[in-house]
Amino acid sequence: MTRTVQTPRPSRFGDLFDMLTDRGRALLRWRDGAGRVTAPPGLPQMAELLLSRRGEASGVALARALVTAFEEADEAKRLEFLLALADRFGPDPGAVGQALAAIQAQPGSVEAIEALHTAAEPRRQELFRRLNLAPGGTAALVRMREELLGHLRDNPGLRRVDSDFAHLFASWFNRGFLVLRHIDWNTPAAILEKIIRYEAVHAIRNWDDLRGRLQPTDRRCYGFFHPQLVDEPLIFVEVALTRAMPDTVAPLLDLDRTPIDADRAGTAVFYSISNTQRGLAGVSFGNFLIKQVVEELKSELPNIRTFVTLSPVPGFAAWLAQAREGGDMLDDELRAALKPLDQPGWHVDPDAAQALREPLLTAAAVYFLRARDAKGRAVDPVARFHLGNGACLERLNFGGDVSANGLKQSHGLMVNYLYDPGRIEANHEAFAERTEIAASDAVRRHLPALTPKEKP
């Protein structure tokens, strides 16, 4: 016979916590079994509590308490919690054992396999879903993973926690939930200061510099936002509207240039694209962002027919240094012609620069079209991103960025990737399946003929 209880009644066992309300903010006061106020439990215990029955009734309050406790704990305690996630919040061994037994009993049963899938879900996935109940929970989880990423090298066991984060974030930050927003000079300062902080390609020096990228008629900036992270762009792209495809970056960033009417522009240049949340590493936004911005611009400004990037080549100088040492990527003649690179200040010496132009472009063509890394991929990370999106390597720009950084990473080389909506899929497929690199004739022309032994 079930029993009925009278309410209110004193708790027989003492509650583990009471909810207190202080100016609309729920707090928890922890009690021991005898009802005495006590210190809060450790983070792993709180996580167990959140996964328990009690977590069902008081999920929001408990989730908030755990999030707060984690963020206020010192670094050692936080790492301890992350390690506990790896060790103690994996799949439930009992449930997995039963599911495996069922499979052995019915080999090939789809039901059994699907039951196993459910049984083998690490408990931390449900924990993360419950932590998300806390106000600000999504942002807190993203920060938690950011912290975890910093410990990965020394604690490879955390990798399995990371992959649960990655799985969940891929679902929560699905493109279908993101909102594209125009970022301009009417955007709240709280967001704009993040644009300044997160710009990863061409640093924004100050607010005047920022205004120069947002306010002129021939500049645009777009970002993806998630409804739960209102002040945080997840990724943003800066766009210049120009008459022709640019080959150097300095004029684009010049605050004193004269803007053109947006109606007069024929080309949109994606000159900077920056991810902002390290905690969302591996969730891919850039691909969708560029394509949606292309749609936006085509609809707003039908005169724009060409969509290109002006991109850095961050891996070129390092690769070239090695290739000049040895290997069969470059031949001796080219190696000799590249000698002047070692002379400091060559880029301000017109003769030296002129002499280097062709050899460097040839080397660059090799770098993009022939070189592969240990995994067989294109060497340049920016190239992998744009080619993987279905863009095509359109032009190599000698002296495109002669800032100190530009010289250091790529001997001043910049490139344009072209987004041609009609070719994007074919390029993507060829790149992904057959490692074929889409490149214009103009680029391929720089490629030296293959020596007999290189021929496939």
Nearest residue (CB) to a second copy, 347 versus 386: 386
> Could you say whether residue 57 binds a second copy (CB under 8 A)?
yes
What is d(CA 209, CA 214) in angstroms, rounded to the nearest whole number? 9
> Could you say whether residue 59 binds a second copy (CB under 8 A)?
yes
- Contact pick of 83, 120, 250, 317 for a second copy (by CB under 8 A): 120
Closest CA to 289 of 272, 301, 302, 313: 272
Number of residues near a second copy (by CB under 8 A): 112
> Could you say whether residue 68 binds a second copy (CB under 8 A)?
no
- Contact pick of 71, 254, 295, 328 for a second copy (by CB under 8 A): 295
Q: What is the DSSP string of 263-320?
A: GG--EEEEEEEEE--GGGTT---HHHHHHHHHHHHHHH-TT--EEEE-EE-TTHHHHH
H or E segment to which residue 196 belongs = helix 189-198
Nearest residue (CB) to a second copy, 14 versus 251: 14
Query: Does residue 258 contact residue 216 with C-beta atoms inside 8 Å?
Result: no
Sign, Cα dihedral of 434, 440, 441, 443: negative
Site string for a second copy, 210-249 (x = CB under 8 A): -x---------------xx--x------------------
- Contact pick of 27, 73, 102, 133 for a second copy (by CB under 8 A): 133
Does the bond joining 8 to the residue before it have cis omega, within 30 degrees of 0? Answer: yes
> Could you say whether residue 187 binds a second copy (CB under 8 A)?
yes
What is d(CA 175, CA 295) in angstroms, rounded to the nearest whole number? 15
Site for a second copy in 77-106 (CB under 8 A): 90-91, 93, 96, 100, 103
Active site residue 386: yes
Active site residue 428: no
Q: Write down the least CB distance from residue 439 to a second copy, Å.
A: 5
What is d(CA 151, CA 84) in angstroms, rounded to the nearest whole number? 14
Site for a second copy in 304-363 (CB under 8 A): none
Residue 402, classed as helix, strand or coil, is coil
- Contact pick of 34, 36, 53, 76 for a second copy (by CB under 8 A): 53
Sign, Cα dihedral of 306, 309, 310, 313: negative
> Could you say whether residue 8 binds a second copy (CB under 8 A)?
yes
Question: Where does this chain touch a second copy (CB under 8 A) — which range of 133-141, 250-258, 272-280, 326-334?
Answer: 133-141
Closest CA to 207 of 222, 226, 187: 187
Site string for a second copy, 403-432 (x = CB under 8 A): ---------------x-xxxxxxxxxxx-x
Site for a second copy in 246-275 (CB under 8 A): 263
Nearest residue (CB) to a second copy, 346 versus 368: 368
Instruction: Please give the positions annotated as active site.
Output: 311, 386
